[in-house]
Structure 1
Amino acid sequence: MNPIYTNYFKDPSEYAIYSEFYIYIPILLTVLTFGLETGYFRFSSKYKDVKDKVYSTTFTFLLVTSTLFVLYTTFGYDGIISGLDLSPNKWYVILTGWIVFFDVLCAIPFVRLRNENRSATFVVLKTVNILINVLFNLLLLFVVPKLFPSLPPMGILVIFIANLVASVTTLFLVLRLAGLPSIRISKPLMKELAIYSVPLVISGLAGQVNDLLDRYSIKYLLPESAKPMFQLGIYTSNLKLAIVLTLFTQMFRYAAEPFFFNNVRKEDSAKTYADVFKYFSVFGMIIFLLVTLYIDIFQYLEGANYREGLFIVPVLLLSYYFVGLLYNLQIIFKLHDKTRRTVDVTLAGLILLVVFNIFMVPHFGYQAAAWGRLLSFVFMCVVSYWFGKKIVSIPYDFKNIGFYFVFGLGLFFLSKAIRPENLYLRMAVNTLLFGSYVLVFLYKEKINPVTIAKSLLKWKSK
C-alpha cells in the first residue's frame, strides 16, 4: 500500500500520523503476547502428550489480558492521547486497541499451525489477511467517496478501519482451521510458561523499542524548526522500501523456529545451525543488492514527495540484515533456556542507541536515526555471539560469511562509482553485478542450479 498511501496523502506530515500509531502496534503485540508464542513451541515439544493443555492455557491467558487492554483503550483514550501527545482523534486510539486485541488472539492459533507444520494453511490465512486489508483500503479510499460524495473525508482513518476488518476476519478463520481451544488455564503449566517467557517479554519489548526508537527520536529530539513530523513521514516511507529484507527475515523465522526446537537434541544440530546462519547471510545480501542495485525501480513504491530520503535505504537494509543475523544468534538462548541473555544483549543495544540518538539526531535528523539503528544491531550481534559461544560451540563459517558480505558491499559501491547516466545502461550494468554475486556464490558452494530445479519439479509432482 505504500505507493498508494504516499501518493494519496501528499503531505508527509499527515502520513507520519499513521506511521506513529503503527509504531505502537508491534510494541503492544510484544507485551500482550507475553512471549507465549516461543513458550508454546518450547512446552509443546517438552510435554508432547498434553499439547492441547498448552494450547488452551496460552490462549485463555491472552484472552483475559487482551480483553482488559481493549477495555482500557476503548474507554480511557483521553489519558492515552494526552500521555503520548497523540493526534486528538479518539478513533485512532480506539481502533488501534481493537486491532491489537484481535491480532493478539490470532497469535497462538497461528503458532499452532506452524508447530504442526501446516505451512500451506498458515500462508493462505496470512495472504487472505493481506488481501482483505488491501481490498478495504481501496474501497474506502476510492470507491466509497464516489458512491457517497456527501460523506466527510476519512483521511488516514481508512487505514485503521481496513486493518480492523482484516484482523477480525483472520481471527475467525484461524480459529476454525487451527481449532477452538478450551477456555481454561492450567496453573502449574502457566507458572512454568511464565518463568520461561517473562525474560522474552522484557527482551522483546526492549527489542521493539530498539527497532522503533529511530522514529521516536525523530519526533521528540528534533526541534520544531526541523519539521519533525515531516521528517518522520519521509523516514518511515523509505523504511518501507527496506521491508523486503524484513519480510525475508519474518518468513525465515516462521519456518526456522519450529525447525530449531525440533532438532535441538540431534547430534549434528550445531553444524546445521552454522549452515543455516551462513545461507541466511548470503540470501540477506542478495536481497540487499536486489533493492539497492534496482533502486531506480523500487523508488516508484513511494510518492515523489518522499523520494528525497532514498539515500538512507541502503543503511536501513543493512540494519534489517543484521536483525536477521541477530535472530539466528539469539535462538541459542531460547533453545537452551537462557532467555535472560536476550534481555542483557537487547538492553545493552538499547542503551547504545539512546546515547547515539540523543547526540546525533538533533543535528543530522533522520539520517542519524538510520545510522544509529544499524550501529545498534551490529553491536547486539557481536555481543550475542560472545554470549552464545559460552553456551554451545557452533562452527560458524565466518571466513566465507565475511567474504560474501564484503563482496556484496563491494559490488554495491562499484555500482555507485560507475553509475552511467543512461537508465537502461545503468540497469544493464547493475544486472551484471547482481548476477556476478549469485554466480560466485553458486560456484564457491558447489551448488548446481539445474539439480535444484529438478528436485523442485520432482517435489512438485509428488
Structure 2
Amino acid sequence: MSKLKKLAGDTVIYGLSTILGRLINWLLMPFYIRTLDKVEFGGVVNIYSYIAVILVILTLGFETGYFRFVKEHRRQVLLKNLGTVITSLSLLFVVLVYMFKSPITDVLGDEYLRADYFLIAAAIVALDAITSIPFADLRIQNRTIRYASLKFISVILNVGFNVFFLVICPYLLKEGYDIIEVIFDPKNKLYYVFVSNLLSSLIISFFLIPTMFFVKASFDLKLIKKVLKYSLPIMVVGLFGMLIQNSDKILMVHLIDTDFMDPMEALGIYGANYKIGILMALFIQSYRLAFEPFFFKEGKEKASKDLYARILKYFVIFGCIIYVGVLVFIDVVNILLLPEYYEGNVIIPFILMGQLFFGIYYSLSLWYKLTDRTNYGALISGLGAILVIIGNVVLVPIIGYLGAAISSLCCFFIMTLISYILGQKYYPIDYPLTRIIIHIVAAILIVYVSNLFRSDSLLFHYAIKGTIFVSYFAFLYIIERKEFIKILS
C-alpha cells in the first residue's frame, strides 16, 4: 500500500504542474477563439499537430531509454551522450526546414498557412526536443518540484506572450501607438501564436541546456548504439501514438467536403471541442509521468503484479469520474466556447472515452517494456495508426469531424484489446476485468440517463444533474467500499 501511495503522491505532484500548467494553457483555447477567427484557430490546431508528431521523431525514444539504462550507467554519461545526439539531430532538422520551406509550404500549407509558420514551428520542436533529456533527468532524480516549476513557468510565459501580442499590441495600435507595428502586424495574428511559444521555449532552455553540456563525460558511441537499439522501437511506438492522436487534425483539411464546410473552419470547431477532453488528457499525462519511472523501479517482482492490477483499476475509476463529470455538466463546460462552436459537442463523448482507453493501453504496455519486447509495442501502435488513418479517410468525407472522433475511439479500443491479449501471454497479470468493464459501462449509462432529463428551469436542471452525479459516487462507494477503506486506513 505504501508503494501505491508513493505513486499517487508522485502523480499528484506531476499532476499539479501538469494540470495547472495545461489548464492555464487550455484557457488559450477560449482565448484564441475570441481573438482569432475559426480559420486561424484551425491553423493553430493544424500546426501544433505537426509539432507533436515531429517531436517524437527528434527525441528518438531516448526518454524511456534514459530510464531503462540509468541504473547500469552513470547518469552524467547518459545525460551528455543522449543530449548531444538529440541536439545535433534537432539542429539539422531546423536547417533542412529552412532550406526546403517553400516546397514544405506548398505541400502542407494549403492556402491558409505560410512558410514562416513552419520555420518557427521547427525551432519550437527543436528546443523542446533538446530539453527533453534534462527534463527526464529531473524525473529520475525525483526532483519533482523543479520539474513542475519549469513546466509551469513555461506555460505562464507562453500565455503572457500571447496576451501581449494578441491583446495588448492591437489595443496599443487602436490607441494610436503606431510604433508597435515594428514588432506586430495586425493582419497576421496567427504568426504571433507561434512566436509566443518559441520565446517561452527559448527562455526555459537556458535553465536546462547547461546541465546537459557542462557535465564531465566523454562521448560513448557504444552506449549510444545500445540505447538506440532499445529506444528506437519506443520512438516508433510514440510516433504511431502521435499519428493516432493527431492524424485527424492533419488530414481533416484535406478530407472535409468543401461544399459542406470550409475545411479549416471545420478543423477549428473540431479542435475547440477536442480540447474539452483536456481533463482526461491531463489526468493521463500526470499518471504517465509518475507511472513510467515507478514501474521501472519496481521491475518484474512477483509482488508487483498485484500492485499493477490494482493501479489499473483505480486509473479506470478516476478516468470514469472525469468522463461522467464532463458530460453530465457539458452545458457548464460550454461557457468556455462560443455558440458557433457548440455543434462540435457531438465528438466529446467519443474523445473522452478514446482517451480513457489510451490510458488503459499505456498502463498495459508495461509488459513489453519490462520484458524488452518493445517491437511488439511498435507493431500494435503501427496497426492503430493504420486503422485511424483508414477510419479518417473513409468516415470524414461522409460524416465530417464526427468520423474522426469515432475513428480515434475504435483505434484505441482495438489497441487496448490486442495489448491485453499479448500481455497475458508474455507477462500475465490478473487484472480485475469484470470490475473495470462494470465501471466503464456504468459511466456510459450514467451519462445516457443524464441526457434524458432536460428542463427549462435552471434550478431543476442542475438539481437533477447534481443528483445523478452524486448517485454515481454512491455507486462507486458501494462497489469499491472495501478497497477504499483499505486505502484510507
Q: TM-score, normalised by structure 2?
A: 0.88
In the other structure, the counterpart of 1:44 is 70
**Residues 91-114 of structure 1: CA deviation (Å, up to 9, x unaligned):** 211110111111011100111111
- Pairing partner for 1:83 from 107, 118, 121: 107
Q: Distance in 2 between matches of 1:29 and 1:184?
A: 26
In the other structure, the counterpart of 1:110 is 135
Q: What amino acid maps onto 2:317 in structure 1?
A: V
Contact 2:53 2:239 in 1 (8 A): yes
Contact 1:39 1:196 in 2 (8 A): yes
Q: What amino acid maps onto 2:61 in structure 1?
A: G
Contact 2:273 2:341 in 1 (8 A): yes
- Of 142-151 and 425-434, the range deviating more from structure 2: 142-151
In the other structure, the counterpart of 2:274 is 239
Once the two structures are superposed, the pairs formed by residues 294-373 of structure 1 within 5 Å of their partners are 294-373=329-408
Q: Distance in 2 between matches of 1:287 and 1:13?
A: 30
Q: Distance in 2 between matches of 1:350 and 1:72?
A: 26
Q: What amino acid maps onto 1:70 in structure 2?
A: V
Q: Distance in 2 between matches of 1:394 and 1:448?
A: 19
Q: 1:406 to 1:42 in 2, by over 3 A?
A: same
In the other structure, the counterpart of 1:208 is 242
Instruction: Give 1:303 shift.
Output: 2.4
Q: 1:367 to 1:58 in 2, by over 3 A?
A: same
Contact 1:12 1:306 in 2 (8 A): no
In the other structure, the counterpart of 2:318 is 283
Contact 2:77 2:217 in 1 (8 A): no
Q: Distance in 1 between matches of 2:252 and 2:100?
A: 27
| Structure 1 residue matching 2:430: 3-state secondary structure | coil
Q: Distance in 1 between matches of 2:281 and 2:161?
A: 24
Q: Distance in 2 between matches of 1:206 and 1:449?
A: 37
Once the two structures are superposed, the pairs formed by residues 174-193 of structure 1 within 5 Å of their partners are 174-175=208-209, 180-181=214-215, 184-193=218-227
In the other structure, the counterpart of 2:286 is 251
Instruction: Give 1:290 shift.
Output: 1.4
- Of 36-45 and 177-186, the range deviating more from structure 2: 177-186
Q: What amino acid maps onto 1:228 in structure 2?
A: P
In the other structure, the counterpart of 1:15 is 41
Instruction: Give 1:219 shift.
Output: 1.4
Instruction: Give 1:358 shift.
Output: 2.4
Instruction: Give 1:175 shift.
Output: 4.1
In the other structure, the counterpart of 1:459 is none
| Structure 1 residue matching 2:219: 3-state secondary structure | coil
| Structure 2 residue matching 1:156: 3-state secondary structure | helix
2:33 corresponds to 1:6: yes
Q: Distance in 2 between matches of 1:228 and 1:396?
A: 43
Q: 1:67 to 1:438 in 2, by over 3 A?
A: same
Q: What amino acid maps onto 1:206 in structure 2?
A: F
In the other structure, the counterpart of 2:86 is 62
Contact 1:74 1:94 in 2 (8 A): yes
Unaligned residue ranges in structure 1 (runs of 5+)? 456-462
| Structure 2 residue matching 1:185: 3-state secondary structure | coil
Q: 1:239 to 1:210 in 2, by over 3 A?
A: same
**Residues 234-258 of structure 1: CA deviation (Å, up to 9, x unaligned):** 1011000111111111100111110
In the other structure, the counterpart of 1:458 is none
Q: Distance in 2 between matches of 1:84 and 1:410?
A: 42
| Structure 2 residue matching 1:347: 3-state secondary structure | helix
Unaligned residue ranges in structure 2 (runs of 5+)? 1-27
Q: Distance in 1 between matches of 2:271 and 2:406?
A: 14
Q: 1:447 to 1:132 in 2, by over 3 A?
A: farther
Instruction: Give 1:360 shift.
Output: 1.8
| Structure 1 residue matching 2:372: 3-state secondary structure | coil
| Structure 2 residue matching 1:250: 3-state secondary structure | helix
In the other structure, the counterpart of 2:473 is 438
- Pairing partner for 1:72 from 82, 93, 96: 96
Aligned residues: 451
Q: Distance in 1 between matches of 2:217 and 2:247?
A: 37
Once the two structures are superposed, the pairs formed by residues 408-423 of structure 1 within 5 Å of their partners are 408-423=443-458
- Of 155-164 and 215-224, the range deviating more from structure 2: 215-224
- Pairing partner for 1:136 from 134, 137, 161: 161
- Pairing partner for 1:267 from 294, 302, 308: 302
**Residues 2-60 of structure 1: CA deviation (Å, up to 9, x unaligned):** 11111112x31221111111110110110000000100000113x1x512111111111
Q: 1:138 to 1:104 in 2, by over 3 A?
A: same
Q: Distance in 1 between matches of 2:83 and 2:288?
A: 21
In the other structure, the counterpart of 2:60 is 34
Q: 1:175 to 1:85 in 2, by over 3 A?
A: closer
* Identity level (%): 31
Q: Distance in 2 between matches of 1:444 and 1:175?
A: 49
Q: Distance in 2 between matches of 1:432 and 1:390?
A: 44
| Structure 2 residue matching 1:337: 3-state secondary structure | coil
- Of 386-395 and 353-362, the range deviating more from structure 2: 353-362
In the other structure, the counterpart of 2:170 is 145
Q: Distance in 2 between matches of 1:195 and 1:374?
A: 31
| Structure 1 residue matching 2:189: 3-state secondary structure | coil
Q: What amino acid maps onto 1:106 in structure 2?
A: T
In the other structure, the counterpart of 1:168 is 202
Instruction: Give 1:228 shift.
Output: 1.6
In the other structure, the counterpart of 2:251 is 217
